[in-house]
Structure 1
Amino acid sequence: MSTDIGSEERFLPLRDGRTLAYAEAGNLSSKTVVLYMHGFFTVGDASQTSHVFLSKNVRFITPTMPGWGNTSPPPPSTLYRDCLTSDMTALLSHLYPDFDGHNIKLYIAGGSLGTVAAQILYGAPYDKFAFGRCIAGVLLLGAFSPFRYHTDYAKYMTWTQYILPGPIGYYMPFNLLSHIIKFVLARKLKTIEGAEASLRETVFDRMDQAEREEFAKWSEERGMVPDDYVRKMAENVLKSTSKSWVGFMLTPPLLHSDWGFRPDALDEEHSRPPVLLTASKDDDMSPVAYAYYLAANYKNARIKHVDGGHMSILYHMDEVWAEFLADEQWS
């Protein structure tokens, strides 16, 4: 059994001259695969993966999404969803050259922004993403609903979100508001100290005392103090925008775009894999209403609730991965 601890970023040259960055961990010879799509301002990082993957004999693969970090942006003439399905097809075909249409077991997962990519892969036509026929389950952590069809999505946004990526930023011509906010953020995120300060302001300083204690306990169990984890996140923030800000600029159009399907109109075969949604009750970045919408519109979905804010699912991830990968949970 070939295993990897996930410390090294890898690079896959693509046919269109672009590059796809990814990391992986677990049993690299396993044909049980978790493909994890990352969230905002980070990259594919397998350096702190769950022990569940080894116990379940899983290969954990986490690509960096188009326009973030060392992964090239989509070609100008290509829809994001088509770029994503093409990139993931290339990656999985590279890692599984003996793929015959059904000989791997694929679990798709995503967190925050990555839930959009995970849903695009879940609903993609099989002629564009043949690996979709192998999907055994979908895990959406702090999910976004498709704003194109979830007509009430803006009701649950904070004012900051309502401006961007909500309706104000989306309908402003030429993506102008994204350019302005990019200019402001780029000045904040030039250094590791600036990235740490921004993370504390937007995420960690908003924790109540109970969640602070839980975060400290979680960190300690992994041989860290909370500051270590904040520093690690800050490092990935810098990596995510080290080449360009295209990933950030694409986010509002992506959230409002056509993902290639309607959740309530997927055919029976696409609806076969179950969808597990997690919802943190006090998460104002990924409101629980989005999970409720998806649970009501996907034919085979359920929600796992946890207490706390945007980061709180982190403390339950070993439990979530074990539940997600347990076949009996889906019977």
Structure 2
Amino acid sequence: MSTDIVSFEERFLPLRDGRTLAYEEAGNLSSKTVVLYLHGFFTVGDASQTSHVLLNKNVHFITPTLPGWGNTSPPPPSTPYRDCLTSDMTMLLSHLYPDSNGRDIKLYIAGGSLGTVPAQILYGASYDKFPFGRCISGMLLLGAFSPFRHHKDYAKHMTWTQYILPGPIGHYIPFNLLTHLMKFVLSRKLTTIEGAEASLRETVFDPMDQAEREEFAKWSEEHGMVPEDTVRKMAKNVMRSISKSWAGFMLTPPLLHSDWGFRPDALDEEHSRPPVLLTASKDDDMSPVAYAHYLAANYKNARIKDVEGGHMSILYYMDEVWAEFLADEQ
């Protein structure tokens, strides 16, 4: 285990276009083994509870806040999301590893829920756009989204709420109007910590069955909290994620339907070399397991790990998942 284990509060990187990138990091900050983790909906890059597996593996854990969420600026109006993302991550890694030239680090890309989209964009990006792509040693997708423009049956697995937004109905109504309406509704709920907690309970925690409630309580206790503390911490991150703007939320439905710059089944041999591990919860109706199975069938070097439970349940298996994902790291 490294003797240089450090954890920072949120840091800020000025970008060349006048924007700002927020990020947190933990682990051995001088390690050339890097885990870049991309967060999900209504949260920010948060390294405060980095898994002991990652610390024991002596990695540098970096978790940036995605464009338009929290303190990270949204993409410039004329720049596609994928180009903004690859530019931002190139600048971040170049800032942290100025002598690497995109060559001498071992990079693991990971994402959860919404974060699986930017993770895949980086995995499939051209090396001209993302030079550090040549360093990728693996990709971990937790509760993955498939590319809707290529996965023709994506809508068959959605709840009615999802079918309306971000599914086909919201996509075909012009000017992102349904997203604007949903923003208006949610903004009234998420202005206070109590409102954010109530929204989380309604969407994430109330649907849990008794077995998963017990698992959630056990996981919270193992991390020095009671379930109420975990919900309160998540609610604080919800509020942080929209503290500057709702740009990240507004970008999400168009992003899911956009061109990510590649097709999973058409990647060349070099891009397909790093293995892909997909982890999917069997009863997750926010990121349906069918999306992970689609990706497992279309990436050339992928395997899938199914776990029991709903949208939150992957959390309870994360130490096991990290250990499997980084099995070759000593």
State the 1:3 CA deviation: 2.2
Are 2:155 and 1:166 aligned?
no
Question: Residue 5 of structure 1: CA displacement?
Answer: 2.8
Aligned counterpart, 1:290:
291
> Could you tell me how far apart the structure 2 residues matched to 1:12 and 1:72 are?
11
- Counterpart residue identity of residue 194, structure 1: G
Aligned residues: 328
Query: In structure 2, what is the equivalent of residue 85 of structure 1?
Result: 86
CA distance in 2, matches of 1:75, 1:216: 42
Letter in 2 for 1:99: S
Structure 2 contact 94–101 (Cα < 8 Å) conserved: no
- What corresponds to 1:277 in structure 2? 278
5+ unaligned residues in a row in structure 2: which ranges?
none
Alpha-carbon distance in structure 2 between the residues aligned to 1:248 and 1:256 = 14
Equivalent residues in 2 for 1:26-175 (5 A)? 26-175=27-176
Structure 2 CA distance for aligned equivalents of residues 184 and 101 of structure 1: 43
Deviation at 1:53, TM superposition (A): 1.3
Q: Secondary structure at the match of 2:206?
A: helix
SS at match of 1:26: strand
Superposed displacement of residue 222, structure 1: 1.1
| Shift in Å, 1:54 | 1.5
The corresponding residue for 2:7 is: 5
Q: Offset of 1:316 from its aligned partner?
A: 0.5
Corresponding residue number in structure 2 for 1:176: 177
Provide the secondary structure at the position in 2 that maps to 1:229.
Answer: helix
**Map of 1:18 onto structure 2:** 19
Distance (Å, rounded) in 1 between the aligned partners of 2:158 and 2:196: 24
Q: Deviations over 1:257-314 (max 9, x none)?
A: 0000000000000000000000100000000000010000000000001000000000
1:300 corresponds to 2:301:
yes
The one-letter code of the counterpart of 2:238 is V
Cα distance in 2, alignment partners of residues 257 and 122 from structure 1: 16
| Structure 1 residue 2: Cα displacement | 3.0
Structure 2 Cα separation of the partners of residues 164 and 252 of structure 1: 7
Which SS does the other structure have where 1:206 is aligned?
Answer: coil
Q: Deviations over 1:36-85 (max 9, x none)?
A: 00000000000011001111000100000000000000000000000000
- CA–CA distance in 2 between the matches of 1:223 and 1:73? 35
Cα deviation 1:114-155 (Å, max 9, x = unaligned): 000000000000001000000000000000000000000000
Using the alignment, how far apart are the partners of 2:102 and 2:13 within structure 1? 22
Distance in 2 of aligned mates of 1:168 and 1:11: 37
Secondary structure of 1:21's partner?
strand
Measure the CA separation in 1 of the matches of 2:102 and 2:245: 36
* Equivalent position amino acid for 1:41 in 2: F
Q: Percent identity?
A: 86
Secondary structure, in 3 states, of the residue corresponding to 1:46? coil
Q: Deviation of residue 101 (structure 1)?
A: 3.3
CA separation in 1, counterparts of 2:12 and 2:322? 26
Aligned to 1:252: 253
Please state whether the residue corresponding to 1:103 is helix, strand or coil. Answer: coil
| Partner SS state of residue 113, structure 1 | helix
What's the counterpart of residue 202 of structure 1?
A: 203
Q: Where does residue 191 of structure 2 map in the other structure?
A: 190
Deviations 1:75-97 (A, max 9, x none): 00000000000000000000000
Q: State the 1:327 CA deviation.
A: 1.9
* Aligned equivalents of 1:283, 1:18: Cα separation in 2: 35
Q: Which residue in 1 is equivalent to 2:218?
A: 217
Q: CA deviation at 1:102?
A: 2.0
Is there any run of 5+ residues in structure 1 with no aligned partner, and where? Answer: none
Amino acid paired to 1:316: Y
TM-score, with normalisation over the residues of structure 1? Answer: 0.98
- Report the residue type matching 2:277 in the other structure: L
The residue matched to 2:170 in structure 1 has which SS?
Answer: helix
Amino acid of the structure 1 residue aligned with 2:204 = V
- The answer on whether the counterparts of 2:32 and 2:104 sit within 8 Å (CA) in structure 1 is yes
* Structure-2-length-normalised TM-score: 0.98
